[in-house]
Structure 1
Amino acid sequence: MAQTDSRRLPVIDGAYLHLESPATPMHVGSLQIFSIPDGAPGSLVADIVAAYRASSDLVAPFNLRLVHGPTTRAFPAVVPAESIDMEYHVRHTALPAPGGERQLGELISYLHGVTLDRSRPLWTCHVIEGLSDNRFAIYTKIHHALTDGVNGVRMCGNALADTPAGPSTAPWHNHRTVEHTAHVARKPAGLGPAEWARSLSAGVSGLLIRRGSDAVRRPFDAPTSVLNLPVTGARRVATQQVELARMQEVARLADVSVNDVFLAVCSGALRRHLLDEDVLPEAPLISGVPVSLRYEGEEGGNAAGMVWASLATDIADPMTRLKAINVSSSAAKNHLRSMPLPVRRLFTVLTAMPVTAVLITGLGATRRPPMNLIISNVPGPDRTKYLRGARLEALYPISLPGRGQALNITSISYAGQFNIGFTGARDNLPHLQRLAGYTADALAELEAALPQGSAPRRRGRANTDHRA
């Protein structure tokens, strides 16, 4: 392929390639769990594998490979691949008996610790049969240099059908994706130099000048903790599922956002877990919270910034903790929203530079960390999805820890459920599933702490603990 077909990756996208090492794979993944309908052919899973492998004319980013040359190590570039070995990229796997959540979790944990081959397009898909209760799973991973969570969820959702009989396809050969990527992003009107300068100056001042309890948290406010020790490349994955309606009702009654409730649920689980181990810092843990910076209609790549919020893990009372989290997260988001969108992008790049430098060098494991962990909330499909008649039961994000960052917690809302994925450095977090289970308890504690008579009524199953 001619070199003229190549394009440089934006700075943020390229940074994920520079951050990668054997101890810190920089891919993100998703785990989809499907139930096989009654009357489905016994060859259903094999048919899906065959259809996935038969795909041609792959869409970006699945058709892109890295350019290898003297300058591309410092300034990565990608080019459409001349040929793609689909049998390599689409794997057919079967779980050993009894095909339970433990066996699935062991497999996903192993697969997520294996770095992607940089000589090929940076993704793989594993179709996994043999899951108990007449189910199968699909685990897909793709390098973070090629997409962020919002875009990844969109690609997965677009590939599935809205009805059991509806058409579905592979994300890498999705006609709806092709149409979407042809859209032109609606960028805001250009800013003059004076407005750029004023907005950027105000943003920097908001970080440097601290004002009382509602001060904007900044990088390196985080205390040292066991979550920020050196990591290896081995991964451990755990999941938890709760009803979205419960989260929404707590948010409504407490007059906070659903994302605040999610942060509080994670905070309560982390506080209990670290107290169990007698390693809870006196100062509150600080989370990096990704926020979308996409223009309307913009597709592909990474378009997310980072704000920092206190998890108030030093506060025992769950409702007081939730209110403190709301104050901190609101200050951070209002600070970012005070800037025009183009300035927000530059501002987040500037604030991310020292964080990236620390993560690349690994100093976050030996010095004060830029944050204790990352907690992200990605909106997903609001209606049930299907693949060749198989119902998508759960959609879990499998994200990435970093150097000196042993834990990442990410959620995806899907069809009335809140699906939480915990991705940890295996040697640092031997009891990750226990931590995942504590999130269900933390939500129940918040419900119990609501004013008497206002606690939301649970519908159906209180939570489902998928040990993946």
Structure 2
Amino acid sequence: MNHLSGLDATFLHMESPETPMHIGGLSILELPPEYEGDFMADVRNHILNRMHLAPIFQRKLVHMPFDLANPIWVMDEDLDIDYHIRHVIVPPPATRATVDKLVARLHSSLLDRSRPLWEMYVLDGLPVPKDLPEGTRYVGLYSKMHHAALDGMGGQVLMEAVMDVSAKPRKVKKPLRRRAGEHSDNYGIAELTASGVLHNLGQTIKLARNLPTLTRKATEILRPTKAPQDTSKEKMHWFAPKTPLNVTITNQRSFARFSIPLQESKEIAKLNGVSLNDVAMAISAEGINRYLDDEGFHAEEPLLAAIPVSLRPEGNTELSNQVSMARMNLATTIKDPLERLHAINDSARHVKHLMSDMQAVLPTDFPSLGAPWFMSGLASVMTRARIYNAMPPFANVLISNVPGPNITLYFAGAKQVSTYPVSIPYHGMGLNITLQSYDGWLDFGLIACQKLMPDIHELARHMEEAHRDLLQLSQERYNKA
């Protein structure tokens, strides 16, 4: 049986109507003037021909008897492709803002757990840049897939399965036929119960072996560390400072996106001797600072970012979650942008040192007996009691940087112009900033609770300005030197 790992199932148990736990993306696709086909039909056939390359398309959940342990994955023998791939017309007049509002609304709804945990929406009627040939069409492809089925790097593996490097789709091998008499996925109560107990026994033994090391590592990650360039007199804290974004959220979302040239970010990184990820963190930190200033809020302590850290071994192509979480100091109390950038670099190197051996000791699977009841119940109680409004936040914002291909890709014959991540805000962390590199650009996707950030496009504007200011300041300072 294909059991959900403890980490995969955690995303399932933490889900509630207010916090859908799917990740997604908005791809902007270009169809040339000479295209006269039915793109919706092309997308449908494209996925049908490739779904055997990625298990997420065909597998669904089967729950253990009485939800005693985590569910298992089975193949859906009655997949309804027309349910999973849908056609939506963007309400006219179509603008960037109306497209973003539509994506936010689509991202707000839960996936149907009785089916494979994914949906795609072909968005027609997108605005087209005026400098393109007459008759060119822009089509949006918004997709969402449950985080229980894949992480950010798993999404890159999935992308490799469905994308092509030319407008002519490559030929793929046909799926293997199931042999006569081969075991089906129809399990009885006794089989499910026995398998669940044996699986949990094995995971308990593994966890017991690594528990001392895990406890030590968890303490190191959570322990308050002195912020870069701080004096020894400054007080250090276990938690992040409370901001208006760190409270209980609703199920409604706001979404904004923007792109910046990858070469410009690389230039900032090179001039300052830092990494590209440090630059993205600095842009986010300055943008959040300016946004909160507009709201009349100023944090006396440095904001902290929760950052996913991949535990995926090199060459691993599984779609399951293989990720941990660490915290990075955004040094937002440092006024000079370049000094802040170097402080972020110091914090990043400290995090990298802490997480260097986590791959060897941190399990992605662990015992789950009673977990569906306990974790789902705990998540529900904390939401209904609005405990997140009172408790100090683990971090202020989640920021994730997903490396992508630096070439042009095609989907169902259409050229992909850009691809914006659409991720997960959660209670106590109502803003998620995810970026992905693609074909010479950094594409940023900002998703938040609409009640907390109805004007999230203002944050996007501040971040774009922060990038331009950081580039100009870097050029002026280091060209003089």
- TM-score interval, normalised by the smaller of the two chains: 0.7 to 0.9
Which of 328, 339, 345 in structure 2 is aligned with 1:320?
339
User: Contact 1:160–1:167 at 8 Å: present in 2 too?
Assistant: no
Deviations 1:317-339 (A, max 9, x none): 111111111111211111111x2
User: Contact 1:359–1:402 at 8 Å: present in 2 too?
Assistant: no
Name 1:155's counterpart in structure 2.
158
Matched residue of 2:453: which SS? Answer: coil
Could you tell me how far 1:295 is from its partner in structure 2? 1.4
Deviations 1:177-218 (A, max 9, x none): xxxxxxxxxxxxxxx99x968865763563476664459xx9
- Say whether 1:309 aligns with 2:328: yes
The alignment's C-alpha RMSD in Å is: 3.3
Distance 1:274 1:73, change over 3 A: farther
Could you tell me how far 1:310 is from its partner in structure 2? 1.0
Name 1:35's counterpart in structure 2.
30
Name 1:434's counterpart in structure 2.
458
Distance 1:111 1:174, change over 3 A: farther
User: Contact 1:148–1:304 at 8 Å: present in 2 too?
Assistant: yes
Mean CA deviation greater in 318-327 or 390-399 = 318-327
Distance 1:245 1:56, change over 3 A: closer
Name 1:293's counterpart in structure 2.
311
Mean CA deviation greater in 305-314 or 12-21 = 305-314
- Say whether 1:102 aligns with 2:121: no
d(CA) in 1 for partners of 2:479 and 2:122?
41
Could you tell me how far 1:168 is from its partner in structure 2? 7.6
- Say whether 1:142 aligns with 2:166: no
Which of 162, 165, 175 in structure 1 is aligned with 2:168?
165
- Say whether 1:274 aligns with 2:288: no
Mean CA deviation greater in 272-281 or 220-229 = 220-229
Matched residue of 1:228: which SS? Answer: coil
Mean CA deviation greater in 61-70 or 39-48 = 39-48
Distance 1:253 1:73, change over 3 A: farther
Mean CA deviation greater in 121-130 or 35-44 = 35-44
- Say whether 1:376 aligns with 2:395: no
Matched residue of 1:452: which SS? Answer: helix
d(CA) in 2 for partners of 1:207 and 1:94?
46
Which of 56, 67, 73 in structure 2 is aligned with 1:61?
56
Name 1:90's counterpart in structure 2.
85
> Which is greater in Rg?
2
Could you tell me how far 1:454 is from its partner in structure 2? 4.0
Name 1:183's counterpart in structure 2.
none
TM-score (norm 2): 0.80
* Match runs of 1:367-446 below 5 Å: 367-446=391-470
Mean CA deviation greater in 302-311 or 51-60 = 51-60
d(CA) in 1 for partners of 2:61 and 2:30?
36
d(CA) in 2 for partners of 1:414 and 1:168?
24
d(CA) in 1 for partners of 2:434 and 2:240?
19
* Match runs of 1:218-367 below 5 Å: 220-298=238-316, 299-337=318-356, 339=357, 341-345=359-363, 361-362=382-383, 363-367=387-391
Could you tell me how far 1:410 is from its partner in structure 2? 0.2
Aligned residues: 426
d(CA) in 2 for partners of 1:348 and 1:228?
29
Identity value in percent: 33
d(CA) in 2 for partners of 1:32 and 1:453?
37
Mean CA deviation greater in 34-43 or 200-209 = 200-209
Could you tell me how far 1:57 is from its partner in structure 2? 4.9
User: Contact 2:50–2:161 at 8 Å: present in 1 too?
Assistant: no
Distance 1:219 1:235, change over 3 A: farther
TM-score (norm 1): 0.83
* One-letter amino acid of the counterpart of residue 274, structure 2: V
* One-letter amino acid of the counterpart of residue 390, structure 1: A
d(CA) in 2 for partners of 1:139 and 1:117?
17
* Match runs of 1:119-134 below 5 Å: 119-133=114-128, 134=137
User: Contact 1:164–1:389 at 8 Å: present in 2 too?
Assistant: yes
Distance 1:258 1:356, change over 3 A: farther
Could you tell me how far 1:63 is from its partner in structure 2? 1.3
Could you tell me how far 1:440 is from its partner in structure 2? 0.9
Name 1:179's counterpart in structure 2.
none
The unaligned stretches of length 5 or more in structure 2 are 129-136, 176-205, 230-235
User: Contact 1:214–1:331 at 8 Å: present in 2 too?
Assistant: no
User: Contact 2:227–2:329 at 8 Å: present in 1 too?
Assistant: no
Mean CA deviation greater in 145-154 or 445-454 = 445-454
Mean CA deviation greater in 321-330 or 57-66 = 57-66
Distance 1:331 1:358, change over 3 A: farther
User: Contact 1:158–1:174 at 8 Å: present in 2 too?
Assistant: no
Deviations 1:96-138 (A, max 9, x none): 2232212211211110000001111111111111112220011
Deviations 1:9-50 (A, max 9, x none): 111110001110010000000111011113111433443345
- Say whether 1:11 aligns with 2:6: yes
d(CA) in 1 for partners of 2:433 and 2:174?
29
d(CA) in 2 for partners of 1:49 and 1:214?
51
User: Contact 1:25–1:113 at 8 Å: present in 2 too?
Assistant: yes
d(CA) in 1 for partners of 2:15 and 2:227?
36
Matched residue of 2:299: which SS? Answer: coil
d(CA) in 1 for partners of 2:117 and 2:350?
37
Could you tell me how far 1:248 is from its partner in structure 2? 0.9
